[in-house]
Structures are given as C-alpha cells and as structure tokens.
Amino acid sequence: MLGGDLVAVWEVALSDGVFRIEFAHGTTTGKRVVCVNGQEVIRKDWMFKLVGKETFTVGSTQTKATINIEALTGFAYEYTLEVGGKSLEKFIHDRAKMSKTWLLRVDGDDCRIVLEKDTMDVWCNGQKLDVMGEFVDDGTETHFTLGEHECCIKAISSGKKNRGIMHVLLVDGENIPGVGP
C-alpha cells in the first residue's frame, strides 16, 4: 500500500484506541498517502506542490489530525503531526492530564480502559461503556461491568494540592495499576 515512500509513522492514543498513522511521500511525484491502522484515508498520486498539509480524522470521535510537510534543504523534508490542533507532543501532554488509562486482562482478553476526567466517560477497547456515577464520603465512584466483573473507578483526593484528584480502578475489589502518572 505505502511502498518505499514511507517517510513517517506516529502512534496516537485516543479514548477509543491507539491509532498508527503512516505517511508516504513521493518526493519526485508529490504522491501522498495517509493510512490509519492500515486503512488508506488519503491518496493523492500526483501533485506539483511537494510541501503543504494533509488533514483527516482519526477514531470514532473523529479527532482532527494534520500532517505538515515542510522543505528543509534540497530534497529533504520534515513531517510533523498535529492532533486536535496541537503538536503531537502537546496533545500527548494535555491528554495525560485529561485522561487515565489502565491495561488489564479480563477473562483472558486484553482490555484498555480509559477514563475521560472532564466528562467521566469510560471506554473499553474503543467502546464507550454505560456507567453509573455516585457521590460517596471520600469522593465519587463510577460503576460499570466487564462481562461478569464489577468495576469501579474511585476519584479521591490525594491530600496534596499539587497532585489533586487520584483515580483508582477496582475490578472485583482488586486495585489495578494505571498506565503513566
């Protein structure tokens, strides 16, 4: 699909999954091909302008992504990815503040649980789950099930001003360690 013109690959973690974005750029023909998780989303076989932008959406949330193609010197090019209008680095940094991710195995299946802290939406392997939230003495609890397993995300104060609220995932009462900070 992309052939020998593959020039950049990025991994972008969203609520509904981790997406692999591949970009092929033919520097003699101007060809541009963008694939997301192996699926071609843009193909331009012949372009006179070798620099510019390609914009597309990623995931079920239709998050906007843009690949910027800039000339450096001679026939050297630089490729950068923007997600949600931000550089990939800034997007990843902001995302770490706005979400919490857990990776676990449930009944032999790998599960990627993501909590969106601003909306309290919970996703499992790309599917938004039905949840029930409730206020409790020491914070909030968001309840949901995975198969026959009772799950709860507890939001509790860390007791430290600079850390704020901590989110803990319990599956059948067992604490599951999160990914990242």
The answer to whether residues 54 and 65 touch, using CB atoms and an 8 Å cutoff, is: no
Is residue 91 in a domain?
A: no
Is residue 89 in a domain?
A: no
The CATH number covering residue 18 comes to 2.40.128.180
| pLDDT (0 to 100) of residue 164 | 78
| pLDDT (0 to 100) of residue 74 | 73
The answer to whether residues 80 and 87 touch, using CB atoms and an 8 Å cutoff, is: yes
Q: Which residue has the tokens 């990843």?
A: 92
* Exposure string over 38-75, b if 16+ CB within 10 A, otherwise e: eeeeeeeeeeeebeeebeeebbebebebebebeeeeee
As for how many domains the chain has, the answer is 2
| pTM of the predicted structure, to 2 decimals | 0.83
Residues of the chain with pLDDT under 50: none
| pLDDT (0 to 100) of residue 42 | 96
Arithmetic mean of pLDDT over the chain: 91
Residue 107 sits in the same domain as residue 139: yes
